[in-house]
Amino acid sequence: MGARIRGPGSTLITGVASIASARAGDLVFAADEKRLQEARRCQASAIVTGEFAEGSSDERAYVIANHPKLAFARMASLLSPIETREGIAESAQVDLSAKIGDHVLIAPGVVIEAEDSVGDGSSVGPNSVLEAGVMIGRECQIGPNVSIHSGTVLRDRVIVQAGCVLGSTGFGYVRDEKGRHHLFPQIGGLLIEDAVEIGANCTIDRGSLEQTVIRRGAKLDNLVHVGHNVEIGEDAVIAAQTGISGSSRIGTGAMIGGQVGIGEHAEIEEGTILGGQSGVLNGKVLRGKGVVLWGTPARPLKDYLKELATLSRLSRKGTK
């Protein structure tokens, strides 16, 4: 990623802000010419912007990047305040057999049961619960009111937002001759790899006999449901309220829109893109890196749009 800095010899930057709210010391982001004009009228001390701003001149600092949004995200992450609180709150219940690393924050009301471990630099938010045998790696951030069940392992730098339930019992029943439902064993684990980030109030089931796995760097939005035995690939992105049924696999770098529903034993291959509200049938395999699919059942976007247009045309014709 290329970026050049132009302006005064040294500039003190203390935070990031929107253009509308920026004060001296702030870094702001100007995505286009119009935003740049606004940014030049604000009090920010530095502007992250694109090549198009090359000619601009000013007494403040310019960061001119060929991918300015990424540059801004990276600089903002360096500037973001670090949680410096640490220690175990008096009202937390930490089992004597639990291993708590250095510089860990265990907030009030947290319950940590037997044989748990929480790695160096991690924090567990108020009133969250770690059942027995949960392993949390280093520098993880667990929000408030999170429930983590036995058999769950989080590697490093995992972020779990408030209200999530990790390692819940999956929805696997067997019907008997009278039509009653008996739970199939749900005793597999849940593995969440490095740098996974999970939005608020998500539910991720443990495996039934195998393991549910969320691979490195995958990002889940709020209220996402992940069923038992699912595997979500590295750097996959899954928007809010999407549901993934049992034993399905989402490939590396796949991008799944909001409210998508994926049936059981389906496979979304590497880099496939599913538009919002799409539906994927049980057992279906969808492939195509960079291919956009939409609708229920999900089909190539171009085909789907043509179908919508055809239907609209026939419907209007039918009226005449």
Which amino acids are annotated catalytic? 228
CB of 101 to a copy of itself, least distance (A): 22
Sign of CA dihedral 301, 307, 311, 313: positive
CB of 261 to a copy of itself, least distance (A): 4
The amino acid occupying position 194 is: D
User: What's the rounded Cα separation, in Å, for the pair 257 and 279?
Assistant: 11
User: What's the rounded Cα separation, in Å, for the pair 83 and 103?
Assistant: 10
Q: Of 117 and 208, which has the nearer Cβ to a copy of itself? A: 208
Q: Of 9 and 175, which has the nearer Cβ to a copy of itself? A: 175
Q: Of 118 and 146, which has the nearer Cβ to a copy of itself? A: 146
CB of 62 to a copy of itself, least distance (A): 18
CB of 149 to a copy of itself, least distance (A): 7
Q: Of 12 and 314, which has the nearer Cβ to a copy of itself? A: 314
User: What's the rounded Cα separation, in Å, for the pair 137 and 305?
Assistant: 45
Pairing assessment for the beta strands 141-142 and 99-100 based on DSSP bridges: unpaired
| CB-based contacts of 299-303 (< 8 A; 24+ apart in sequence) | 301/275
User: What's the rounded Cα separation, in Å, for the pair 307 and 250?
Assistant: 27
Question: Of 69, 17, 70, whose CA–CA distance to 42 is shortest?
Answer: 17
Q: Of 57 and 78, which has the nearer Cβ to a copy of itself? A: 78
CB of 103 to a copy of itself, least distance (A): 19
Length of the chain: 320
Residue indicated by tokens 């429930």: 147
Contact 315, 309 (CB under 8 A): no
